Structure 1
Amino acid sequence: MEFLRCVHGGDAGVSTFLYFPFAVFNIASPILSLLYGITGFKIDKLPTAPGPAAEAL
């Protein structure tokens, strides 16, 4: 499977531990998504105020 060779850090001569600090958000994203899904946390939309700015949308 040649297409899988691009995902290995060893092929580029980079240790996994060297690029681990740059992958923090990649690791945290699924964890936070599960946490938000379980707890029901969400960001509510603000109500729009009537006026010329709301009509422009």
Structure 2
Amino acid sequence: MDTGGPPGVDGPWLLCPWCAGPVPLTHLVASDDEPGAQVAVCTGCGRRVSFLPPTEP
């Protein structure tokens, strides 16, 4: 099934802020540096990408 995403990425993803490469959400893990943040490595450029989910209202 084609999700309209980058080739080779199965499931939802984020775009890398440096190269716009795909960062699959399944690669996110809890950050050791920032509480509440999650990090992953971009499949395009290999840089570390961090994501801080929004807080609930």
TM-score with structure 1 length normalisation?
A: 0.15
**Structure possessing the higher radius of gyration over alpha carbons:** 1
TM-score, L = length of structure 2: 0.15
Higher strand share: 2
Greater RCO, 1 or 2 (C-alpha within 8 Å, sep 6+):
2
Larger fraction in helix = 1
